[in-house]
């Protein structure tokens, strides 16, 4: 019951908190770009079935693979890609928490 609140809270509230705290002047732009990190969920369309409640996204879907996670982390460091990298990393944190909660 708490899983959806944690999952979507991390997806939407963590980027908002980061944007408001670190990027006060341009918080709306930072927030929108970070939330757009959810676009990597398009790879769920490649799965059959597209949605399965007890499936962990991490390393199942191509854009959620262990090979791409270091790339997403590296995107946080250059100033030009920081918000994109943060959005992708936050997305994967939300999905990892989801996977962790499934195992209990």
Indicate the number of domains in the chain.
Answer: 1
pLDDT of residue 75 exceeding 90, the answer is yes
CB within 8 Å of 103: residues ≥ 6 apart: none
pLDDT of residue 1 exceeding 90, the answer is no
Q: Are 44 and 50 in contact (CB under 8 A)?
A: yes
Q: How far apart are CA 101 and CA 19, in angstroms?
A: 26
Q: How far apart are CA 7 and CA 25, in angstroms?
A: 27
What mean pLDDT is predicted for residues 42-51? 90
State residue 66's pLDDT score: 96
pLDDT of residue 103 exceeding 90, the answer is no
Q: Are 71 and 85 in contact (CB under 8 A)?
A: no
- Cα dihedral 45/55/68/5 (nearest 10): 90
Domain of residue 56 covers 3-102
């Amino acid at each position: 019951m708490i899983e959806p609140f944690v999952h979507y809270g991390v997806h939407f509230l963590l980027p908002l908190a980061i944007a408001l705290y670190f990027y006060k002047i341009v918080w709306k732009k930072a927030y929108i770009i970070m939330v757009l990190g959810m676009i990597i969920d398009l790879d769920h369309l490649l799965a059959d079935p597209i949605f399965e409640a007890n499936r962990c996204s991490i390393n199942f879907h191509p854009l959620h693979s262990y090979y791409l996670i270091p790339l997403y982390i590296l995107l946080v460091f250059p100033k030009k890609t920081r918000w994109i990298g943060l959005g992708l990393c936050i997305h994967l944190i939300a999905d990892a928490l989801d996977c962790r909660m499934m195992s209990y």
